[in-house]
Amino acid sequence: MLEIRDLHVRVDEREVLKGIDLTIARGEVHAVMGPNGSGKSTLAYALAGRDGYEVTGGTVRYRGADLLALSIEERAREGLFLAFQYPVEIPGVAGTTFLRAAVNARRRHRGERELDAMQFVKFVRGKQAELNIPDDMLKRPVNVGFSGGEKKRNEVFQMALLEPTFAVLDETDSGLDIDALKMVANGVNALREPARSMLVITHYQRLLDYIVPDRVHVLAHGRIVKSGGRELALELEREGYGALTAAEAA
């Protein structure tokens, strides 16, 4: 599904990722953990293709093609989804309007007929129930005045609608209380399926109690310093990042 080889990324003249290697197979869920400033979000943005995240070396192959050759929207249309750490407010644009534009952009790309307003409402109804998204949330302007929990739930809801092949969740747990965290995790788990892979970025192991990953990677100083199974997350929780990152620095 996704194959990252020796990826170097520069932000504001500073090298943040210094050679990442990571392979995620079809249907797998990988977690990337690491202390603040280790480069977790940079990895997410570089994969999504945001401006300002300059790839200075390495390759990323996505479903056999060169991901880095595509623009941010082309990557999205090819099924790459990023759940933003800080979902962006778009004043005056109703949730449904935004979502319909997004869904139709993808449908156009796949050569499918666009959904009109009525068809879209039907399409959304089913998914709404699954994630407990009230109508009101879709009528309000995108993310404007949303609580932290609502914003994150809205990200997962978008993911459900857009049915990505590969999803990156960037600190989707940050700022959530335990109930909100469970709700978001349930939403994500419901989307796990053999044809869909995920990269879950998080600072805390807590999230991984609910979204159980196939593999865990520890990112420090722009490199993956350790990879392992689920137990690695628990080990980190016990011993902290200190031991690992110190070992790397030494």
Partner 1 sequence: MSAVDAAAETVEALGESGYKYGFVTDIESDTAPKGLDEEIVRFISAKKGDPEWLLDWRLKAYRLWERQQDEEPRWARVSYPPIDYQDAYYYSAPKSVDRPKSLEEVDPELLATYEKLGIPLHEQEMLAGVAVDAVFDSVSVATTFKGELEKAGVLFCSISEAVEKYPELVRRYLGSVVPYSDNFYATLNSAVFTDGSFVYVPEGVRCPMELSTYFRINAANTGQFERTLIVADKGSYVSYLEGCTAPMRDEHQLHAAVVELVALDDAEIKYSTVQNWYPGDEEGRGGIYNFVTKRGACRGSRSRISWTQVETGSAITWKYPSCILQGDHSVGEFYSIAITNNRQQADTGTKMLHVGRDTRSTIVSKGISAGRAQSTYRGLVRMQGKAESARNFTQCDSLLIGDKCGAHTVPYIEVRNRSAKVEHEATTSKISDDQMDYCRQRGMSAEEAVALIVNGFCKEVLQELPMEFAVEAQKLVGLSLEGSVG
Please, what is the minimum distance in Å from the beta carbon of residue 239 to partner 1?
Answer: 35
The binding site for partner 1 (CB under 8 A) comprises 48, 50-52, 71-73, 76-77, 81-82, 84, 86-93, 97-98, 101-102, 105-106, 109, 141, 158, 162
Please, what is the minimum distance in Å from the beta carbon of residue 126 to partner 1?
Answer: 20
d(C-alpha 142, C-alpha 151), whole Å: 9
Please, what is the minimum distance in Å from the beta carbon of residue 42 to partner 1?
Answer: 14
Q: Which two tokens stand for residue 8?
A: 């170097």
Q: Which two tokens stand for residue 177?
A: 């209380």
Q: Which residues contact 153 (CB under 8 A, 6 or more apart)?
A: 131, 132, 133, 180, 183, 184, 187
Handedness of CA 24, 48, 194, 226 (dihedral sign): positive
Q: Which is nearer to partner 1, 11 or 234 (CB)?
A: 11
Please, what is the minimum distance in Å from the beta carbon of residue 205 to partner 1?
Answer: 27
Q: Which is nearer to partner 1, 14 or 110 (CB)?
A: 110
Residue 209: closest CA among 180, 169, 174, 181: 181
Please, what is the minimum distance in Å from the beta carbon of residue 236 to partner 1?
Answer: 29
Contact 25, 47 (CB under 8 A): no
Q: Which is nearer to partner 1, 11 or 93 (CB)?
A: 93
Q: Which is nearer to partner 1, 159 or 232 (CB)?
A: 159
d(C-alpha 20, C-alpha 190), whole Å: 29
Please, what is the minimum distance in Å from the beta carbon of residue 247 to partner 1?
Answer: 35
Please, what is the minimum distance in Å from the beta carbon of residue 106 to partner 1?
Answer: 5
3-state secondary structure of 34: coil
Contact 66, 121 (CB under 8 A): no
Q: Which is nearer to partner 1, 86 or 132 (CB)?
A: 86
Q: What b/e sequence results for 153-191 when a residue is b if at least 16 CB atoms lie within 10 Å of its CB, and e otherwise?
A: bbbbbbbbbbbbbbbbbbbbbbebeeebbebbbbbbeeb
Q: Which is nearer to partner 1, 103 or 188 (CB)?
A: 103
Q: Which is nearer to partner 1, 120 or 241 (CB)?
A: 120
